[in-house]
Structure 1
Amino acid sequence: MSARRISRRLSARTRGGFQPRAIIALAVVWVLLWDRITLGNAVNGLIIGAVITQIFPLPSIQYFGRIHPWRLLVLTLRFFVDLVSAAIEVSIATLDRHPPKGGSIVEVHLRVRNELYMTIISALVSLVPGSIVVEARRTANVLYVHGFHVTTPEGLEELRRDVLAVETRVVRALGSDEELEAVMGATEKETA
């Protein structure tokens, strides 16, 4: 057997295994799909969840931080403020007789290397109207973000700062002390 096949089998074993949270989540989805909470639906959901997690094992996500409730509330409230203001901005641009032409893509190097944070940041940025993450490079820790209203170099820099501000809020809400120090230290260097 080749080294590549052995490596694949070992990585599949380390990724797979018993995943109770994933099984429970899939069982909940199963019960919601049937629109009726019964013992049979719940048991079938657990069985289906166990089978799916064995056939398609989910990769484990490293998370060493802790949730900071106040900062999580700030992150959530700021997201809703950004959501509403961007929706108004996009609506105005849509109704304008001369809407902004084009848009640009900016490369944003995230400061904390964590797949969970990258996923959350990508979701928060993409859910705000007018911006979307078009590519995420996990190995390089880079997001490529398109802004529909960005037409100048200053606009590119503002979009980059906005994405990094989202990263800062996510790390402040969910990160460990070391991750928070890394983000805050990088922020101080950028502003100096």
Structure 2
Amino acid sequence: MTHSNHSLLTRFLHGIPSFLWLTFVWCAAWRDFGLPSVAFGAILALLVLLVFRLPTLYLSNRFNIWYALVFLGYFTYQVARASMEVFWFALTYKAPLRNSVVAVKLRTESDLWITAISHAMSLIPGSLVVDVDRGNSILYFHVLNASGQDAAEEFRVEAHRIEAMILKAVGSKEEFAMITADESRSKTAKGSHRA
């Protein structure tokens, strides 16, 4: 297989997730998953991919079911806990409620995982992504009832925990190694600090 054929095949394989997603979005928008709707959505998805040349999504080809389940359980717990907190703030609101914009520097540089992390954090009530510095992998969040450095740092720790869980579940081998190395360094630093 020549180099040009190999790169064409690679580009085609990496375009499959975008093609499937666009087809699904079309069918979901029309609430019709019948064969004619799927076929028309597939044609539209192909046209969009050919005309607009969307950026290639490089998947890691790695999936860890255990870490995915851990993330899903933790994410569900965080959504439930934060929902109750926001509900309590709404019931017992007393001015002033101090909010903050918190910058979180991520360890990953993948567009796909930055997007996944930002959406996961935004789905947890009380925080919302307001800006993304793609070049430096920094997400800016509007955080409810968080004033001062301690609250901002607590939020950053939570964002890094979500990032670590996502990368351990679906990140590349290099990202997985980076996260586990960071966690072991952190544990060593905490152990030496206590001693």
Partner of 1:136: 132
- Aligned-pair identity (%): 29
Partner of 2:143: 147
The answer as to whether partners of 2:103 and 2:139 remain within 8 angstroms in 1 is yes
Unpaired runs of 5+ in structure 2?
Answer: 1-7, 190-195
1:79 is the counterpart of 2:75? yes
**1:41 Cα offset (Å):** 3.1
The answer as to whether partners of 2:67 and 2:169 remain within 8 angstroms in 1 is yes
Distance 1:54 1:82, change over 3 A: same
Write the deviation string for residues 32-89 of structure 1: whole angstroms up to 9, x where unpaired. Answer: 4444555433332222222222222221022335110011011011101000000000
Partner of 1:55: 51
User: What's the Cα RMSD here?
Assistant: 2.3
1:88 is the counterpart of 2:81? no
Greater shift in the superposed pair: 158-167 or 138-147: 138-147
Q: TM-score, normalised to structure 1's length?
A: 0.81
**1:97 Cα offset (Å):** 4.0
Paired residue for 1:64, among 60, 63, 72?
Answer: 60
Greater shift in the superposed pair: 19-28 or 154-163: 19-28
Q: Which has the higher helix share?
A: 2
Q: TM-score, normalised to structure 2's length?
A: 0.79
* Distance across 1 between alignment mates of 2:152 and 2:42: 47
Write the deviation string for residues 164-190 of structure 1: whole angstroms up to 9, x where unpaired. Answer: 111111111112332122123234445
Greater shift in the superposed pair: 31-40 or 102-111: 31-40
How many pairs align? 177
The answer as to whether partners of 1:112 and 1:183 remain within 8 angstroms in 2 is no
| Secondary structure of the corresponding residue to residue 62 of structure 2 | coil
Unpaired runs of 5+ in structure 1?
Answer: 1-13
* Distance across 2 between alignment mates of 1:131 and 1:33: 27
Distance 1:37 1:178, change over 3 A: closer
Distance 1:173 1:100, change over 3 A: farther
Partner of 1:174: 170
1:161 is the counterpart of 2:148? no
The answer as to whether partners of 2:100 and 2:142 remain within 8 angstroms in 1 is yes
